[in-house]
Amino acid sequence: MKIFKAFLIVAAIFLLLSWMIGSFLGPDDLAQCGASPSSKTGCERAGAVVAISGGDTKARAAEAIKLFQAGWGEHLIFSGAAADKSGPSNAAVMKQQAIDAGIDPNAIIVEELSETTTENAEKTTNIFKQNGITSAILVTSAYHERRATLEFARRSTGAKVRSHPVATDKQWSSWWWLTPSGWALAIPELASSLVLSTGGVDRT
């Protein structure tokens, strides 16, 4: 009986820890909003919806496209260099995905040079300044959202950036804690996010 009780306690601690890590990594500033923007604080339309590539790039682009089509942003920005240097940039591929979904190419801005999250933030916030964008909704995978938002917030001195993660993609789901691959994603992201939260520098 004592062993069983000890097992239950350990299991409960493990589940709580997993929930806390998942919640920390994937903040969603639109969680209390409806499907479309409104006058409610935190639920207003943004100057841009931004998707950064990496992981399941197609799922990130799809979520950004869905938000844009629902009226959440004036511009749609895709950021990311080519995964394969011989092919098109990830940003260009995401742009084509958006055009195929019926979005006006004139509403889309691409940033094709970034190879890291830090570079995504640096180069995309420059686009904010060049285009007078003062607010944005940042879309990336749930495990990556915290770190990406911290990088953008550090550089977006003139723009408010809200988080909105892709809840489930090819690499991540609410059951991430049951797989070694889930922990392999979570632990480095957690470490990097904590470094950034305390004023440190992350270059991944």
CATH number of the domain residue 186 falls in: 3.40.50.620
- Tell me if 83 is assigned to some domain: yes
In a domain? residue 204: no
d(CA 26, CA 198): 18
Residue closest to 164 by CA, chosen among 9, 3, 33: 33
**Region 11-30: what's the mean pLDDT?**
94
| pTM reported for the whole predicted model | 0.93
Q: How confident is the model at residue 185 (pLDDT cuts 50, 70, 90)?
A: very high
Residue 53 included in any domain? yes
Q: Are 62 and 80 in contact (CB under 8 A)?
A: no
Please give the DSSP secondary-structure letter assigned to residue 45: P
Nearest to 149 by CA among 197, 83, 77: 197
Which structural domain range is residue 170 located in?
2-197
Domain count, the chain: 1
Q: 179 in a domain, yes or no?
A: yes
